[in-house]
Amino acid sequence: LAACNESSESGATTSGESSGDNSGKSYSFKLAHITPPTHMWHKGAEKFKEELEERSGGRMELEIYPSSQLGSEADMVEQIVAGSVDFGLITAAYMSSREQAFAAWFTPYAFEDLEAANDARDSEVAKKILGTLDQQGLVGLDYLFAGQRVMLFKDKEVKSTSDMDGLKLRVTPSPPMQDFYTSTGASTEGLPLPEVYSAVQTGVIDGMDMDLDATITNKYHEVVDHAAVTNHMVWPAIAMANKSTFEGMSEEDQQIVRESIKAAAEYTAMTRAGKEEDFKQQLKDEGMNVYELDESLFKEQKEMFDEKYGKKDPLIQEFIDSFR
């Protein structure tokens, strides 16, 4: 598979007998993401592929590169900007390091459940946040949700924020996520996903911010005893495209891409929402202590976010005003 990605400078290989009108063009697209094939985002990518092929009558093909085959998210976004890869599903967490507005998605407890977060995809503010990618040579297309964030603790059942004081926790290096934890007195390590398993196994960290999806796909239940299902933040992937490839397509073909990714996003969020109870049961069956922690414990963290991040960017404030 790796050999395929060396083939061309431009990801979208187009052909066809277009004469002014390019509606009959064929495309061989590439899409990259970091998760393994068992993760919902990969299933979403497969749905996107199916929809593209069907809606275009076979003119649009998609090759999917999962599991960081094309490198880190930073590498992948560079490849999408350069056009050697056409599409990506990139964490909102990483995108918040390139454009602050994406941090809005880490508003703690903004949504009642995953369905509510999925409805927010269609909001004006969600579209404006995607629109900020324009200046990076990207087209922000949509959001694909995995499960919400939970907390895993290696050997201590944490019952309150004061129990978190002094713990060393893996937290994705996105400032609002890190602030959420440091305000409890925990210290944070910004480890990338592939390093988390051995760090917790060897005791370098005492726990982590995670979701149930990656807990299962990475088998953290083998090395962690407790899972506090807080659902304190959502976890979207940003579906994006190279701008010149996308804008070079006919309006009709752009519409096919937009409708295909929309169908994939709906499919991903709804399928994932239906798995919440099943995922918790799977982890219990693996011997984990799976328990709930109430939102009221994190009142201070919610207020801190609104106060600090609302001021940083008008889109974050608009997001808070729309969903709080």
**Positions that interact with ligand 3HB (CB under 6 A):** 34-35, 91, 146, 172, 193, 210-211, 213-214
CB 248: neighbour CB atoms within 10 A?
14
For ligand 3HB, which is the closer residue by CB, 56 or 68? 68
Measured from the CB atom, the residue of 60 and 152 that comes closer to ligand 3HB is 152
**Residue (167 or 177) nearer to ligand 3HB, CB:** 177
Q: CB of residue 76 vs ligand 3HB: minimum separation in angstroms?
A: 12
- Report the residue number, 193 or 249, with the smaller CB distance to ligand 3HB: 193
Q: At closest approach, how far in Å is the CB of 44 from ligand 3HB?
A: 12
Distance from the Cα of residue 49 to its chain's centroid: 18
User: Where do the DSSP E strands lie in 34-154?
Assistant: 60-65, 87-91, 138-146, 149-153
| 173/248 with CB nearer ligand 3HB | 173
Least distance from C-beta 5 to ligand 3HB, angstroms? 21
Classify each residue of 266-295 as buried b or exposed e, where b means 16 or more C-beta atoms within 10 Å of its C-beta. bbbbeebbebbeebbebbeeeebebeebee
Name which of 56 and 215 has its Cβ closer to ligand 3HB: 215
Degrees to nearest 5, angle at CA 112 with 110 and 117? 65
Give the CB-nearest residue to ligand 3HB: 214
Provide the minimum distance between the beta carbon of 134 and ligand 3HB in the complex, in angstroms, as a whole number.
25
CA 304, distance to chain mean position in Å, is: 23
Closer CB to ligand 3HB, 210 or 256, in the complex: 210
Token code pair at residue 239: 């579906």
Q: In angstroms, what is the minimal distance from the CB of 188 to ligand 3HB?
A: 13
Burial of 199 (C-beta count, 10 Å sphere; 0-12/13-18/19+): middle
Minimum Å distance from CB 162 to ligand 3HB? Answer: 25
Residue 311 Cβ, how far from ligand 3HB at the closest point, in Å? Answer: 27
**Amino acid letter at 71?**
G
List phi, psi (to 5°) of 141. -100, -45
Q: Annotate 32-44 with b (16+ C-beta within 10 A) or e (fewer).
A: bbbbeeebbbbbb
Angle of helix 175-182 versus helix 299-310 axis, rounded to 10:
140
